[in-house]
């Protein structure tokens, strides 16, 4: 028995089993190596697909931007609302694709920087096209052609496409490197596959040697076959159940899609209703306030005419009422223009802390003695580039709002400091350096349901007749036009904090350091009888022209009226002794800014005074820079101050027609 156990058959079986074991281990090693090579190849394919998707995304961005600009140019030609809608949809789609591009580049720092540059150039291109699109939609194609042409000649689009091409080139280069690395693994896998074939032959021979052992597993195989058949039937039942459940899920998914489409349509209809409601609110607010002011003006003038031959005090009283109504109407008009961003700013170098400090006396008079003003100014406040008059209007509006919220008694804190913001840290502001002006009161606060509406026009939490509802909307428009933003925080019973953010300007600091004297804001009116200077008055409205000429004659000047720029140039050639040109800005054929440029070319020493109520498309702040500006409507005193300042060489200032300094009707400030 022992001899049989140690016989030749036992040793042969042992050798065959050992060889089969070694062959199996080698086979497993080869399979692992081949699997790793296949995984590397699959990874390369995934990289290739990812690269193709990114290349397609860059092409889609370029195509969407091109389609958007094509739709903008088409809108310039056909002026159809559907074309404008196509432009906005394409531009929003391009913005979505740019966001997708940034998300897709998170794994590669170099590509992340390139994607960020693409996003920056896209925002810059959006800023270049936004004025053209706005004026196309609001003012018509005839006046927006120049803006479209200017946007078409900008280099931003070329740079944007160059960055997209850099991203695509980098992806293709990286894919090439990875594919080269993977190719070596693929070649190695092919070698291992050949070895696997030879090893399979060896294993097959070993299997023949082990075939005699197969009979031992025959009975177990039969039993396993029966179990497998039973499992197969159970798997078939399970597959049928899965198919039924899949059909149910598909039907539920289709129902959800239909519900989402219905909801989207309902939301679109709701947005349209909200837009119409906002337009109705705006129109009603304008009509209500202007009717009130016109009632004061008409009633005052009518009563003054009836009392013309009566006591002088009564006549002056009614005329003062009419003048106050006109002043409030002018202030409301300026706020409407500021809210609509149709009133151009006249920015200059501004030191915010110094400007606020100079206003403290005016603020004290506006809010009363029972409110204590506390100020906190950080040292070395940065300069900003802003319109000082609009800045003062904003501060005065905030002070009056705080006074009303505190019912005339409490503490008012004004803080000016430098802040450095991260991207999207505050409102929609980009990352950078800003000057923050915070105004905090200890008033009643604003309810949460009203806090999101305080910047809407004609929305106010004050009692009827206590405010126009344009104060905060005017501040919002000023901050946005100046490149900044405004935020508000409030809790009922704890007061309110309004913060204005204005971007730091190195150019403003340089200009402020080079100024010899502060800007002249209040020129003394010319005395009656004047110095007899000859003044050319260019005004296309005959009623305004007659009024201006009469006022200048009353002040002792010698006015020469005309109704157009062409006529003004002829008079200027004929009358060399003219000392000043007083011109309207919005005029047919030749605008006031175009006339001023031609006058300066012919007479470089000629003084210019712009008179405007709405500049609109006739010019912007750059066209008006370096000249005195008088805003309509104006009084004789304001006209005298502006003419005296212009003749004295004090340019670049802006005078509000009714007061010459701060806006009238400060109590009209609204939350």
Which one has a higher pLDDT value, 405 or 440? 440
Asked whether residue 281 is domain-assigned, the answer is no
pLDDT at position 29 = 76
435 shares a domain with 547? no
633 within a domain of the structure (yes/no):
yes
495 and 538 assigned to the same domain: no
Number of domains composing the chain: 3
Question: Are both 495 and 547 inside the same structural domain?
Answer: no
Closest CA to 402 of 582, 68, 669, 39: 669
Does 266 fall in a domain? no
Q: What is the pLDDT of residue 235?
A: 87
Q: How many CB atoms lie within 10 A of CB 101?
A: 23
Whole-number Cα distances in Å, 544 to 62, 537, 584: 52, 10, 10
Q: Are residues 502 and 608 in the same domain?
A: no
Lowest mean pLDDT among 93-107, 144-158, 631-645: 144-158
Q: Strand pairing of 384-386 and 607-612?
A: unpaired
Domain boundary among 165, 187, 209: 209
pLDDT, greater one: 30 or 636 = 636
The per-residue pLDDT for 389 is: 81
- Looking at residue 509, its pLDDT comes to 60
Taking each helix axis from N to C end, the angle separating 471-481 and 388-405, rounded to the nearest 10 degrees, works out to 150
Asked if residue 422 is part of any domain, the answer here is: yes
pLDDT of residue 84: 74
Determine contact, residues 175/47, Cβ cutoff 8 Å.
yes
| pLDDT, tens only, 474-515 | 788 888 888 899 899 988 888 999 999 999 987 666 665 555
Query: Is pLDDT above 80 for 293?
Result: no
Tokens of 554: 């009353």
Lowest-confidence pick of 104-108, 139-143, 256-260, 443-447: 139-143
Mark whether 37 and 171 lie in a shared domain: yes
Query: Is residue 659 assigned to a domain?
Result: no
Q: What's the rounded mean pLDDT across residues 414-442?
A: 89
Q: What is the mean pLDDT of residues 610-637?
A: 70
Q: How far apart are CA 496 and CA 406, in angstroms?
A: 10
- Between 325 and 342, whose confidence is greater? 325
Q: Which is more confident, 576 or 341?
A: 576
72 in Cβ contact with 87 (< 8 Å): yes
Range from 101-115, 312-326, 445-459, 575-589 that averages highest in pLDDT: 575-589
Is the pLDDT at 447 greater than 90? The verdict is no
CB burial of 114-134 (b: ≥16 within 10 Å; e: otherwise) equals bbebbbbbbeebbebbebbbe
Q: How many CB atoms lie within 10 A of CB 473?
A: 24
Please state the length of the chain: 671
Going 140 to 613 to 622 to 593, the CA torsion angle's sign is: positive
- Of 32-46, 110-124, 404-418, 574-588, the range with the lowest mean pLDDT is 32-46
pTM score: 0.40
Same domain? 604 vs 482:
no
Task: Check whether 290 has a pLDDT greater than 70.
Answer: no
Given a cut of 50, is residue 70 above it in pLDDT? yes
- Residue 304 lies inside a defined structural domain of this protein: no
CB 580 within 8 A of CB 643: yes
Domain match, 469 and 568 both: no
pLDDT band of residue 284 (cuts 50, 70, 90) is low
Q: Could you give the angle at the alpha carbon of 382 between the alpha carbons of 123 and 502, nearest 5°?
A: 40
Task: Give per-residue pLDDT as tens, 212-226.
Answer: 666 776 777 778 888
Check if the beta carbon of residue 404 is closer than 8 Å to that of residue 441: no
Q: Which of 172-181, 495-504, 634-643 is the most confident on average?
A: 495-504
**C-alpha neighbours within 13 Å on the C-beta side of residue 128:** 18
- Given 190, 209, 228, the domain boundary residue is 209
Q: Please give the pLDDT value at position 529.
A: 40
Question: Is residue 148 over pLDDT 90?
Answer: no
Burial label for 286, CB within 10 Å (0-12, 13-18, 19+), is middle
The span from the first CA to the last CA of the chain, in angstroms, equals 111
342-393 pLDDT per residue, tens:
455 677 888 999 989 988 888 888 888 889 999 999 988 999 988 888 888 8
Q: What is the mean pLDDT of residues 611-637?
A: 69
Closest to 475 measured CA to CA, from 620, 662, 669: 669
Considering only CA atoms, give the Rg of the chain: 40
Percent pLDDT > 90 in the chain is 13
The average pLDDT across 291-298 equals: 63
Q: Is the pLDDT of residue 435 over 90?
A: yes
Question: Cβ distance 76 to 141 under 8 Å?
Answer: yes
447 and 381 in a common domain: yes
Verify that 436 and 490 share a domain, yes or no.
yes
- Considering 9-18, 283-292, 307-316, 358-367, the range whose residues carry the highest mean pLDDT is 358-367
Kindly tell me if the per-residue pLDDT of 439 is higher than 60: yes
**What is the pLDDT, as a whole number, of residue 470?**
60
The two tokens of residue 138 are: 């609001």
Q: What is the pLDDT at residue 522?
A: 40
**What CATH number did the domain enclosing 492 receive?**
3.30.565.10
Indicate the SS3 state at residue 649. coil
The residue ranking higher by pLDDT, 562 or 309, is: 562
Whether pLDDT at 48 is above 80: no
Q: Residue 439: beta bridge partners?
A: 414, 498
The yes-or-no verdict on residue 4 having pLDDT over 90 is no
Say if residue 125 is in the same domain as residue 173. Answer: yes
In a domain, 286, yes or no: no
Mean pLDDT, range 97-113, rounded to an integer:
79
Tokens 């402020």 correspond to 512
pLDDT at 141: 55
Task: Decide if pLDDT at 2 tops 90.
Answer: no
Mean pLDDT confidence for 595-605: 91
Residue range 310-324, pLDDT digits in tens: 777 766 776 776 677
Residue-wise DSSP of 413-468: EEEEEEEEEPTTSSTTPPSEEEEEEEEEE-S----HHHHTTTTSTT--SSPTTS--
CA-based nearest residue to 439, from 408, 417, 463 = 417
- Specify which of 43-47, 163-167, 491-495 reaches the highest per-range mean pLDDT: 491-495
Per-residue confidence (pLDDT) for residue 303, from 0 to 100: 60
CATH number assigned to the domain comprising residue 560: 3.40.50.2300
- Residue 469: count other Cβ atoms within 10 Å of its Cβ: 24
Q: Is 619 within a domain?
A: yes
What would the mean pLDDT of 255-274 be, rounded to a whole number?
A: 76
Which range (9-18, 25-34, 280-289, 421-430) has the least confidence? 280-289
If we measure between CA atoms, which residue out of 478, 479, 516, 482 comes closest to residue 348? Answer: 482
The pLDDT score that the predictor gives to residue 165 is: 84
Q: What is the pLDDT of residue 523?
A: 38
Summarize the confidence of residues 543-553 as an average pLDDT: 87
Q: Give the ranges where 519-667 is alpha helix by DSSP (H).
A: 542-554, 565-574, 592-602, 621-624, 636-647
Strand partners, 499: 438, 487
440: domain range?
A: 348-514
Q: Judge if 415 and 360 occupy the same domain.
A: yes
pLDDT tens for residues 110-138? Answer: 778 887 888 888 888 777 777 767 666 66
Q: Does 459 share its domain with 592?
A: no
Boundary residue ending a domain (209, 241, 268): 209
| pLDDT at residue 546 is higher than 80 | yes
* CA 74/CA 84 separation, integer angstroms: 9
pLDDT of 609 reads 92
Of 611, 621, 292, give the one whose Cα is nearest residue 483. Answer: 621
Tokens representing residue 117 in the block = 């540059």
Average pLDDT across the chain, whole number:
76
Give residue 56's pLDDT: 81
Burial class (CB in 10 A: 0-12, 13-18, 19+), 404: buried
∠ at Cα 86 (84, 92), nearest 5°? 105
Q: What is the C-alpha separation between 157 and 128, in angstroms, rounded?
A: 10
């Amino acid at each position: 028995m022992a001899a049989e156990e140690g016989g030749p058959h036992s040793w042969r079986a042992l050798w065959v089993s050992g060889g089969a074991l070694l062959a199996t281990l080698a086979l497993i090693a080869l399979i692992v190596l081949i699997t790793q090579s296949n995984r590397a190849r699959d990874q390369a394919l995934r990289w290739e697909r990812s690269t193709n998707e990114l290349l397609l995304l860059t092409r889609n961005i370029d195509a969407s931007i091109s389609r958007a600009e094509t739709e903008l140019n088409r809108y310039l030609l056909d002026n159809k609302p559907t074309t404008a809608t196509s432009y906005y949809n394409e531009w929003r789609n391009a913005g979505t694709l740019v966001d997708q591009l940034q998300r897709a580049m998170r794994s590669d720092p170099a590509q992340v920087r390139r994607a960020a540059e693409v996003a920056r150039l896209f925002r810059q291109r959006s800023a270049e096209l936004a004025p053209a699109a706005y004026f196309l939609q609001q003012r018509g194609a005839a006046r927006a052609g120049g803006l479209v042409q200017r946007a078409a000649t900008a280099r931003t689009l070329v740079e944007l496409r160059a960055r997209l091409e850099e991203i695509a080139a980098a992806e293709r280069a990286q894919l090439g490197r990875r594919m080269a690395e993977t190719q070596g693994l693929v070649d190695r896998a092919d070698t291992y596959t050949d070895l696997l074939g030879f090893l399979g032959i060896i294993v097959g021979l070993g299997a023949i040697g082990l075939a005699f052992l197969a009979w031992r597993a025959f009975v177990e195989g039969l039993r396993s076959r029966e179990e497998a058949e039973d499992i197969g039937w159970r798997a078939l039942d399970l597959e049928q159940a899965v198919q039924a459940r899949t059909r149910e899920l598909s039907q539920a998914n289709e129902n959800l899609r239909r519900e989402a489409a219905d909801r989207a349509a309902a939301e679109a209809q709701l947005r349209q209703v909200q837009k119409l409601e906002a337009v109705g609110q705006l129109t009603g607010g304008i009509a209500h306030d202007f009717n009130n002011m016109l009632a004061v003006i008409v009633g005052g003038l009518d009563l003054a005419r009836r009392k013309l031959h009566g006591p002088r005090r009564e006549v002056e009283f009614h005329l003062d009422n009419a003048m106050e109504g006109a002043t409030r109407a002018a202030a409301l008009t300026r706020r409407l223009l500021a809210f609509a961003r149709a009133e151009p700013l006249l920015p200059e170098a501004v030191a915010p802390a110094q400007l606020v400090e100079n206003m403290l006396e005016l603020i004290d008079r506006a809010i009363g003695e029972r409110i204590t003003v506390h100020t906190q100014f950080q040292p070395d406040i940065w300069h900003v580039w802003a319109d000082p008059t609009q800045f003062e209007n904003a501060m005065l509006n905030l002070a009056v709002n705080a006074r009303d919220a505190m019912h005339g008694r409490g503490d008012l804190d004004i803080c000016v400091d430098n802040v450095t913001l991260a991207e999207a840290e505050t409102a929609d502001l980009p990352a950078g350096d800003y000057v923050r002006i915070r105004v905090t009161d200890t008033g009643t606060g604003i309810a949460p349901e009203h806090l999101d509406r305080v910047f809407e026009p004609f929305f106010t939490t004050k009692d009827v007749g206590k405010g126009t509802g344009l104060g905060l909307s005017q501040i919002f428009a000023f901050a946005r036009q100046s490149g900044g933003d405004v935020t508000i925080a409030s809790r009922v019973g704890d007061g309110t904090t309004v913060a204005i953010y204005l971007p730091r300007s190195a150019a403003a600091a340089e200009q402020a350091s080079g100024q010899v004297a502060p800007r002249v804001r209040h020129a003394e009116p010319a005395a009656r009888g004047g110095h007899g200077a000859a003044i050319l008055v260019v005004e296309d409205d005959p009623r305004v022209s007659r009024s201006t000429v009469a006022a200048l004659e009353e002040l002792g000047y010698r006015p020469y009226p005309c109704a157009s720029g062409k006529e003004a140039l002829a008079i200027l050639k004929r009358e060399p002794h003219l000392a000043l040109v007083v011109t309207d800005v919005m005029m047919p054929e030749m605008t006031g800014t175009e006339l001023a440029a031609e006058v300066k070319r012919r007479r470089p020493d000629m003084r210019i005074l712009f008179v405007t109520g709405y500049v609109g498309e006739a010019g912007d702040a750059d066209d008006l820079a370096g000249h005195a500006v008088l805003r309509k409507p104006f009084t004789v005193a304001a006209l005298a101050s502006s003419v005296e300042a212009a003749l004295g060489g004090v340019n670049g200032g802006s005078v509000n027609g009714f007061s010459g300094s701060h806006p009238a009707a400060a109590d009209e400030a609204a939350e």
